[in-house]
Amino acid sequence: MHKVARTVAPIHRLLAERWSPRAFRPDPVAPEALVGLLEAARWAPSAGNMQPWYFIVATQEQPEEFEKLLSCLVEGNRRWCGTVPVLMLTVARVQDTGGDENRWATHDVGLAAMSLTIQAASLGLYCHQMAGVRRQHAAQLYQVPAGHEVWTAIAVGYRGDPESLPDDLMERELAPRTRKPLDSFVFSGSWGETPAWLPEAP
């Protein structure tokens, strides 16, 4: 099953083919591939080059560690994450070294997560980003220091059979991908004013 984006302009194949499945095979991710994902994240851009990202990683090869991280997800995500070979938490350092707020930290963590995701796509891996995280529980469980915030979770692995999911999730897995049209969020001149050069929505 391929869910390639229907775009109004050509974009890179890795971007067009990237999507977020819930059905994953339990096949392990090779350590060198996992290191490559994190290396891609390491080279993401960040405000002031502060690199405010941290990743807590657990694999199915470490059952206790995997269950520990799995417990940090909300129930809706735990429903389908049991077969995922790799789970991660992202953490943002929200204060700079002087103790001042880094307002761009979560933006930069997002950039690092996207770099990781595209590197994964280049290796035939899929990522599913999750906002449904028990953030306070995770912070306590992993003793995340002050000035840092647990932010999101990422499932990483190889796409599995949608029929392995509960019926409601399988329906979502098989549904067409959708996105808002460009003219709903790209403006020029003033808010809500659509640039003349934007193509019409398909």
**pLDDT tens digits for range 170-192:** 999 999 889 999 999 999 999 99
Give the mean pLDDT of 139-164.
96
For residue range 73-113, what is the model confidence (pLDDT) as tens digits?
Answer: 999 999 999 999 999 999 999 998 888 999 999 999 999 99
Please choose, from the candidates 61, 135, 58, the residue with its C-alpha nearest in 3D space to the C-alpha of residue 92: 135
> CA angle, 151 as apex, 146 and 157 as ends, to 5°?
130
SS3 percent helix, strand, coil of the chain, rounded to 5, is 35, 20, 45
Do 150 and 135 form a contact (C-beta atoms < 8 A)? Answer: yes
Complete domains list, the chain, with CATH: 1-8+177-202 (no CATH), 20-164 (3.40.109.10)
Alpha-carbon distance of 39 to 71, in angstroms, equals 26
H or E element, residue 164: none
pLDDT of residue 1: 57
Where is average pLDDT lowest: 115-124, 125-134, 165-174? 165-174
Higher pLDDT, 75 or 2: 75
Q: Model's pTM, two decimal places?
A: 0.94
Look up residue 165 and give its DSSP letter: S
Alpha-carbon distance of 189 to 199, in angstroms, equals 17
Please choose, from the candidates 143, 117, 121, 159, the residue with its C-alpha nearest in 3D space to the C-alpha of residue 23: 159
